[in-house]
Amino acid sequence: MLALCAECHTQDFAARNLADADRVEEQSALLIEEAKQIITGLERDGLLVPSPGDRPRHPLFGSSFVIGPHMLYENLSFVESRFFQMKSFYAPTAYKGAFHQNPDYAHWYGNAPLKLGLSEIKSQALLLRKIDALEKRIDNLGQKATGEKNKEIEDLKATLRDLKEQRLKEEITEQEYQKRRNRLLDERGL
């Protein structure tokens, strides 16, 4: 490639610009990989809607989760559809624009929407995880309210009383008391 570019440009100019374009391509790949890891985590935790099992079967992979070059682009969750756009359009536009010496095109049509897409995926993943946590807490409270876990509630109350006594006797600090109390409540979905 350097020899081809050097036909019209100086060797140093061509080498420098090709190296810059290589870095744009590497950075784009890192953004795509970060998005892929987030989506894979959401799928592992059952937070994609619709889930891969609720979709029409993939012609090659059946009901399994597919993210990458063979993913379909229909009936996907929001984060998967945004990933498809990032991988198929924005990342290639970013590095191809850089290789063609068009920084304006590389940025506005490639890099900017690529980074915005990753931001949207992160925000959506956070929202999905918060909703999941709230649903689990509500389910947990519902079970406890029906009396199925009265023993567990009484044990928790006793543990919290013991913890408060330790605080009042100054065996632990207020900060340590709050930390342990919050951990106990979180473990039980309260």
pLDDT digits (tens, 9 = 90+) for 53-99: 888 888 888 888 999 888 888 889 999 999 999 999 999 999 999 99
Residue where a domain stops, chosen among 110, 128, 146: 146
Residue 144, number of CB atoms within 10 A of its CB:
17
Whole-model pTM?
0.72
CA distance 80 to 175: 41
38 and 66 assigned to the same domain: yes
Q: DSSP states of 82-102 as a string?
A: HHHHIIIIIHHHHHHHHHTT-
Check residue 29 and give its pLDDT.
97
* Domain tally, the chain: 2
Q: For residue 51, give the CATH number of its domain.
A: 1.20.850.10
119 & 184 share domain: no
- Pair (28, 122) in one structural domain: yes
Both 112 and 38 in one domain: the answer is: yes
What does the pLDDT average to over 156-171?
84
* Whether residue 131 sits in one domain with residue 44: yes
CB atoms within 10 A of CB 24: 21
Separation CA 128–CA 108 (nearest Å): 29
Q: What is the pLDDT of residue 171?
A: 87
Q: What is the pLDDT of residue 35?
A: 98
Which pLDDT score is estimated for 187? 79
- Taking CA atoms, 131 is separated from 81, 110, 119, 128, 158, in Å, by 20, 32, 18, 5, 30
pLDDT tens-digit series, residues 130-155? 999 888 887 776 665 555 556 777 78
The token duo for 153 is 């509630």
Helix (H, G, I), strand (E, B), or coil: what is residue 62?
Answer: strand
Residues 6+ away with beta carbon under 8 Å from 15: 2
Identify the pLDDT of residue 48.
94
User: Which range marks the domain in which residue 13 is found?
Assistant: 2-146
Q: Are residues 127 and 170 in the same domain?
A: no
**pLDDT averaged over every residue in the chain:** 88
Q: pLDDT (tens digit, 9 = 90+) per residue, 95-116?
A: 999 999 899 999 999 999 999 9
Does one domain contain both 129 and 47? yes
138 and 156 share one domain: no
Q: What is the spatial distance between Cα 181 and Cα 162, in angstroms, rounded to a whole number?
A: 11
Listing DSSP states for 96-140 in one string gives: HHHHTT-HHHHIIIIIHHHHHHHHHHHHHHHHHHHHHHHHHHHHH
| 71 in the same domain as 54 | yes
